[in-house]
Structure 1
């Protein structure tokens, strides 16, 4: 009887405890949810963020948007850094008679200051400069038509390299040059004799760039269908904003605005054009852009004819830069001159020094 009563008692106790557990379960769920969601209701949590969270999200998005449109700060050297170069190079600048205020003048202003001192009209000089690392560009008379001289031979060589890379030719083939067009018959006949009537593309590259001779350049153009066809292809490397897109075949006129694009293409694809860069690198040592800068590595293609004296170069300063520099009538030369005289040559060399010194003060080490 006692056992039966105890069973009844136990069953009653268990029943009461079960009821109590059921009654307290919602409270455990409620307080558990508060602990997890920080007092936010389950309903609002399932629907999405509350108003305070929306505000925070909007602020974050606004901040991100502002960062995206914020312009990149221009790379500029500090006045102290510029002045340090000025002091280090002062003896050189003064000994050259070219001690301008490079730290506080633009590149165009410095060049114009030299031209004024030398009695050269600004219309006689055109240039385009680019620092490919910083993206800084400066130019003067960049759309003015200037006689290209032999500078056309660089894009011509690049076109033939492209054709080789495309599998149209090989570097070991030898091509007949006996019927190649020419400018000077004695030069043409000398090449026919020296190379037994046939040249390889590397031979044409070397003699058109290292010695800047015309017969191998005509032989290169023949690979592309002749000079007219080759000149028509030269917009592949850039297009001037002036009246002449690239190099005009009938009078060999070009602009520095076009040629700086050729140099940038060459600079950006140095591995592809390694052979012609090598030939340019060893050409005309201590001359043209190297006259006062022989301590630097300079990959250059000069060109002169009649009134024109030009040089296009990749200059490997601490920060490399590209320069297309064209001139006319320096030293009193005219269209009938066989070449620019020594006085005009030294004027061009002085301009190369001024440009390089401005770069040293203002651009070296920026990027």
Structure 2
């Protein structure tokens, strides 16, 4: 090989080496950026164990799988909040759990619980009636179809309508009978200590933390709320949180404008409760279903 050809070959090899080095550097840079992105996002995630003896049951793979789903689908973290509680070991996995979201009709779950408590304590019976006044009418539904303004409506029908059909007039009648919206909010703090900044405002807002307290309380006292749980199973079966897992789980959904939320629990090998709040419009249905399917695969 003459000197000229050697120079050409050496030059080509040098160019190839430089190109390979640049390519490797770019890959490392991309990996570093991705790692940084994941690290920053994972700061939103938290895990809480109420009993240190159960800390060995913490499964960080759950949060990582949810995080991977968020990244793969470019889901805005600020538009989602969740709490998932391992009810067997009392471990909570959460993200943005203290952020306020428009609640929609999930407020009707603790509202109904208050009335089941009153029935259990003897203050009411299911045959007790509540007045239906004009200012309690919000929109068309089961109650407005079956009753006229001025009617006395049995508590059993109001509770069924509020949970099974998410009837807004039923909800309004129930919280007004407690004294009003603020009085209802004060009463339901028996289920939660998680009070957000605008908790007592006229706005219908909530947090995943608040609703997590509610649903874990319900589960811990489920013998007292069996009729309520049955009604939760009848409400839009196989949809929302249950859409992908199809377990007939009890849940209470809520929607308003771009907000879509649901709260419920799943009975399986390791029972768990789940709250997902979203401000993603229709896409929220896909997000909550996927988050719950990931949780179900871990706990079933």
The TM-score bracket by the shorter chain reads 0.7 to 0.9
* Rounded Cα–Cα distance in structure 1 between residues aligned with 2:54 and 2:182: 45
Deviations 1:187-229 (A, max 9, x none): 7642424x99232111011110001110111121233122231
Rate the CA distance shift 1:260–1:74 in 2: closer, same or farther, 3 A. Answer: same
Count, aligned residues? 249
Describe the SS at the equivalent of 1:303.
Answer: strand
Candidates 123, 143, 152, aligned match of 1:198: 152
CA distance in 1, matches of 2:278, 2:94: 14
TM-score under structure 2 length normalisation: 0.75
Alignment match of 2:116 (pick from 137, 141, 161): 161
**Aligned with 2:83: secondary structure?**
strand
Q: Secondary structure at the match of 1:159?
A: helix
1:217 aligns with 2:171: yes
> What residue number does 1:354 align with?
294
Shift of 1:72: 3.2
CA spacing shift, 1:280–1:186, aligned 2, 3 Å: closer
Equivalent residues in 2 for 1:62-81 (5 A)? 72=53, 74-76=55-57
Secondary structure of 1:240 counterpart: coil
Q: How is 1:8-27 mapped onto 2 (pairs within 5 angstroms)?
A: none
Q: Residue 293 of structure 1 aligns with which residue?
A: 245
The aligned runs of 1:120-159 (5 Å cut-off) are: 120-159=75-114
Rounded to whole Å, the distance in 2 between the matches of 1:225 and 1:165 is 20
CA contact (8 A) 1:178 1:192 kept: no
Q: 1:242 offset after TM fit, Å?
A: 4.6
Deviation of 1:319 after TM superposition, in Å, equals 1.7
Contact 2:181/2:202, CA 8 A, preserved across alignment? no
CA distance in 1, matches of 2:142, 2:273: 32
Could you list the runs of 5+ residues in structure 1 that have no partner in the other structure?
1-70, 78-102, 331-339, 361-367
Contact kept in structure 2, 1:288 and 1:311, CA below 8 Å: yes
Question: 1-side partners of 2:141 and 2:166: how far apart?
Answer: 16
> Relative to structure 1, is the Cα distance of residues 297 and 286 closer, same or farther in structure 2, using a 3 angstrom cutoff?
closer
Q: CA deviation at 1:293?
A: 1.2
Q: Which has the larger radius of gyration?
A: 1
- With the length of structure 1 as denominator, give the TM-score of the two structures: 0.62
Relative to structure 1, the CA distance from residue 129 to residue 347 in structure 2 (aligned partners, 3 Å threshold; closer, same or farther) is closer
Write the mapping of 1:1-367 to structure 2, written as runs, cut at 5 A.
72=53, 74-76=55-57, 105-179=60-134, 181-184=136-139, 189-193=144-148, 197-240=151-194, 242-244=196-198, 247-294=199-246, 296-328=247-279, 330=280, 340-341=281-282, 343-360=283-300
CA 1:223–1:357 in 2, change beyond 3 Å: closer, same or farther?
A: same
CA distance in 2, matches of 1:180, 1:121: 38
Residues 82 and 276, structure 2, Cα contact 8 Å, conserved in 1? yes
Alpha-carbon RMSD across the aligned residues, in angstroms, is: 2.4
Give structure 2 stretches of 5+ with no counterpart.
Answer: 1-51
